[in-house]
Amino acid sequence: MTNKDLYDLVLYVGNKENFGGYLNAPQFENQLVTANIVLLKELLGITNDYNFGMPVSRRQKGQSTILDDATNLFKKKGQISFISGIGALPSDYFKYDSIRIPNSVGEVEVLFSGEVGERLSNYIDVPTTDFPICEIIGKNVYVYPSSILASDIIYYRYPTTPVFDYYVSASGEMIYLTNGQTHDLTAGEVDSSGNTSGTFTSTSEELEWGDSEKIDIAWIIIKNMGINLSRQDLTGIASQTINQGK
């Protein structure tokens, strides 16, 4: 499914619902960017769908291999170099999975700052190179003991920002082009940047997710439009509109 398929799906559902607001292409792109991050947060457990007495997301990683497979695309391994116990997070860092020090007994415990203070003043459980701890502050990792020089980090990166690029024909029809596609503008046509002549080269970026997760993104956008529709119902509509036509 391309960005255009999702746009058509959202408009189709919106036209069927009295409470659905119309989205133009720039508005849809903004929604696409937001929903892209919202879905990743949800699948990694950074969400509000907690049950009373059970502060664990129903959809977070580790709950099922299906959900983990969906997010493994964004999982990376990197390295952190420390100077006086301070090292920078990778530039595309979104959420950590684990931090590992070569030759240590276990993984580095990632603690809240208050917990770090308690451990540093605890003579029995003080951090060592065999059992190190760390805290994340801003874009940096602070590791203890500060004599540690390097670590591996397993983390989730930010997804690629989607772009919805197009031109408008002389008849007013919006024509979506995928990344790198070109079109020579003719009289009455205008591209997404406002140019009315020359060759238009699309900068569209498709979502990295699989089709199932793309439908989830469409559902998030539709919900933001004020339409009350279940994910299951939207999946059925998507199958009908895309595979069989509207």
CA geometry: angle 204, 96, 212, nearest 5 deg: 45
Angstrom distance (rounded) from CA 246 to CA 9: 9
Q: If 0-12 CB within 10 Å is exposed, 13-18 middle and 19+ buried, where does residue 146 land?
A: middle
Tell whether the torsion through CA atoms of 51, 116, 80 and 128 is positive or negative.
negative
pLDDT digits (tens, 9 = 90+) for 108-158: 999 999 999 999 998 888 999 999 999 999 999 999 999 999 999 999 999
* pLDDT value of position 142: 98
What is d(CA 184, CA 74) in angstroms, rounded to the nearest whole number?
Answer: 36
Per residue in 4-59, pLDDT (tens digit) is 999 999 988 887 544 445 788 999 999 999 999 999 998 888 765 544 454 454 44
Per-residue pLDDT reduced to its tens digit, 190-202: 999 999 999 999 9
Q: What is the pTM of this model?
A: 0.84
Span 216-230, pLDDT tens digits: 999 999 999 888 888
Q: How do the domains of the chain map onto residue ranges?
A: 75-157, 165-203
CA 8 to chain centre: 22
**Assigned token pair, 67:** 């959900």
Phi, psi for residue 43 in degrees, rounded to 5: -75, -20
CB 212 within 8 A of CB 35: no
For the segment 166-196, what is each residue's pLDDT rounded down to a tens digit? 999 999 999 999 999 999 999 999 999 999 9
> Which residues, in sequence order, are bridge partners of residue 134?
110, 143
- Torsion angle, alpha carbons of 216, 221, 226, 231, to 10: -10
Q: Assign 181 to helix, strand or coil.
A: coil
How would you classify the pairing of strands 150-157 and 93-100? antiparallel
DSSP 8-state assignment for residue 72? G
